[in-house]
Amino acid sequence: MPSNKSVSDAPIVQFTNCRILRDHQLQREDLWVREGKILNPEKLFFDEKGSADVQLNCKDSIIAPGFIDVQINGGFGVDFSLATDDFKSGIDLVSRKILSHGVTSFCPTLVTSPPSVYHQVLPQISVRNGGAHGAGILGAHLEGPFISKEKKGAHPEHCLRTFEAGAFQDLLATYGSLNCVQIVTLAPEMRRSNEVIRELTKRGICVSLGHSVANLSQAEEAVQHGATFITHLFNAMLPFHHRDPGIVGLLTSDKIPAGRRVFYGMISDGIHTNPAALRIAHRAHPKGLVLVTDAIAGMGLAPGRHTLGQQVVEIDGLNTYIAGTKTLSGSVATMDTCVRHFQEATGCSVETALEAASLHPAQLLGIEHKKGTLNYDSDADFLMLNDSLYVQATYIAGEEVWRQDVSGM
């Protein structure tokens, strides 16, 4: 057998008998992996005269890029908006547990909190690669506190803030640091928000519009200043109105700067968004749809009382409410459940459903050259799924980090 030693000593793994999601299509090809990256087999054969060291039969599974969850507040009893001494062990637990739901990278999300919580929690979140220890951390998503009182949803009103004269300095003082921050959700109708959007964008931080009563022109202005995302479309914003469609109107706006795409998050759990609304959004702007779980500490736990930051929430089936009210507060749906529900509700292709949880969030964060695809040289973070889109195995950097236990089935 010809040797590949001239290029690398690392073993080459060939995944056979599978359908790979590449270029928006499921293609019957083998997947080649070396040193945590997707390998181009032609270069291997013709340039290196190399071949596989290990072959794995995937038994006709679908292989798709790992899911990326850009809005997850916690899960399995862990609440990212609670400052605790063992915060690190909490985030480690969630990152490990979500592997079974196909999530290979995520943005731990903090809801509106007092400055003391941000100052304590944010230094404990660090960007890191995924592996056997759990899904990779891409940076924090700070949802609030610069949001609208009228559309606060499950966010505590006494912690909401506005931008004063030194708007960006206000934000810095509130959060304490932006070192590990990837996304900030704010209400674009707030005075001085555009200068904050410009400053955040300049630092490579994605600005999302949400928890807002903005009209369409305010939303368009925010996008012109650099905003690229909408936090959980339809939820916590003005409902669509034909004379002023509000933030929802961004999906078909003709005022988006050339070459810019607006993305929007959707909680496809069957509770937060009626299937008809999901279909409307998807048909209006399919390339911008990003599936998010908006999961809270109660995800993966029995019904009952749990927390979301400063609030107590009650879980009843798939419904989560602020205790004693009918105000929805996050979700307990897992990402693989959201992908299946989205596909069922919209009737879209398997490829489209999978890309809404992988390619689109990667494009939103500007990391699609290494995550969210199975293109050559990208990170070998991928899933094996069956035809019903149930996750059978999760791989990070080409290593199996979770597999469905079929012994008891």
Per the domain annotation, does 409 fall within a domain?
Answer: no
Cβ(394)–Cβ(334) under 8 Å? no
> Does the annotation place 40 within a ligand binding site?
no
The band of 73, judged by pLDDT with boundaries at 50, 70 and 90, is very high
pLDDT, tens only, 110-169: 999 999 999 999 999 999 999 999 999 999 999 999 999 999 999 999 999 999 989 999
> C-alpha distances in angstroms, 390 versus 102, 130, 371, 400?
9, 21, 21, 16
* Rounded average pLDDT over 8-29: 94
In a shared domain, residues 45 and 193: no
> Does the annotation place 243 within a ligand binding site?
yes
Question: The whole model's pTM is what?
Answer: 0.96
Mean pLDDT over the full length of the chain: 95
> C-alpha distances in angstroms, 63 versus 30, 57, 233, 235, 408?
10, 12, 29, 32, 24
In a shared domain, residues 176 and 82: yes
In a shared domain, residues 112 and 260: yes
* Rounded average pLDDT over 317-339: 93
Q: Which of 69, 79, 294, 381 is catalytic?
A: 294
Per the domain annotation, does 261 fall within a domain?
Answer: yes
Q: Is 69 a known active-site residue?
A: no
> Does the annotation place 328 within a ligand binding site?
yes
pLDDT at residue number 390: 98
316-321 — which CB contacts under 8 Å span 24+ positions? Answer: 318/269, 318/270, 318/271, 319/271, 320/296
* Rounded average pLDDT over 265-275: 95
> C-alpha distances in angstroms, 369 versus 64, 86, 138, 141, 378?
15, 34, 14, 21, 6
**Residue bearing tokens 């059978």:** 392
In a shared domain, residues 329 and 258: yes
Cβ(211)–Cβ(145) under 8 Å? no
Give the CATH number for residue 248. Answer: 3.20.20.140
* For residue 41, pLDDT beyond 70: yes
The band of 6, judged by pLDDT with boundaries at 50, 70 and 90, is very low
Per the domain annotation, does 8 fall within a domain?
Answer: no
Backbone angles phi and psi of 228, in degrees to 5: -130, 0
What residues contact residue 46 under an 8 Å CB cut-off, 6+ apart?
Answer: none
In a shared domain, residues 18 and 70: no
CA 115 vs. chain centroid, Å, equals 24
In a shared domain, residues 73 and 59: no
Provide the residue type at 23 as one letter.
D
In a shared domain, residues 258 and 273: yes
> Does the annotation place 222 within a ligand binding site?
no
pLDDT at residue number 9: 79
CA 367/CA 353 separation, integer angstroms: 19
* Rounded average pLDDT over 290-301: 96
DSSP secondary-structure letter at 113?
-
Per the domain annotation, does 185 fall within a domain?
Answer: yes
In a shared domain, residues 235 and 155: yes
* For residue 190, pLDDT beyond 70: yes
Q: Is the peptide bond before 145 cis (omega within 30 degrees of 0)?
A: yes
Alpha helices in 103-210 (DSSP H): 115-121, 167-175, 193-202
Per the domain annotation, does 301 fall within a domain?
Answer: yes
CA 323/CA 341 separation, integer angstroms: 27
3-state helix, strand, coil in the chain (%, to 5): 25, 30, 45
Q: Are strands 319-322 and 311-316 parallel, antiparallel or unpaired?
A: antiparallel
For residue 222, what are the domain limits? 66-365
Backbone angles phi and psi of 283, in degrees to 5: -70, -30
> Does the annotation place 236 within a ligand binding site?
yes
Per the domain annotation, does 7 fall within a domain?
Answer: no
- What is the domain count for the chain? 2
pLDDT at residue number 408: 45
CA 178/CA 176 separation, integer angstroms: 7
Cβ(205)–Cβ(181) under 8 Å? yes
> Does the annotation place 19 within a ligand binding site?
no
Give the CATH number for residue 29. Answer: 2.30.40.10
CA 348/CA 354 separation, integer angstroms: 10
CA 86/CA 56 separation, integer angstroms: 39
In a shared domain, residues 73 and 57: no
Please tell me whether residue 198 adopts helix, strand or coil conformation. helix
> Does the annotation place 216 within a ligand binding site?
no
Show the CA angle centred on residue 191, arms to residues 70 and 146, nearest 5°: 35
In a shared domain, residues 310 and 290: yes
Q: Are strands 136-137 and 103-111 parallel, antiparallel or unpaired?
A: parallel
> C-alpha distances in angstroms, 84 versus 88, 190, 298?
9, 32, 17
The two tokens of residue 194 are 């555009």
> C-alpha distances in angstroms, 176 versus 82, 115, 168?
16, 8, 12
> Does the annotation place 141 within a ligand binding site?
no
Per the domain annotation, does 379 fall within a domain?
Answer: yes
pLDDT at residue number 317: 86
* For residue 4, pLDDT beyond 50: no
In a shared domain, residues 301 and 235: yes
Element (H, E) at 33: strand 31-34
Please tell me whether residue 217 adopts helix, strand or coil conformation. helix
In a shared domain, residues 58 and 74: no
> Does the annotation place 329 within a ligand binding site?
yes
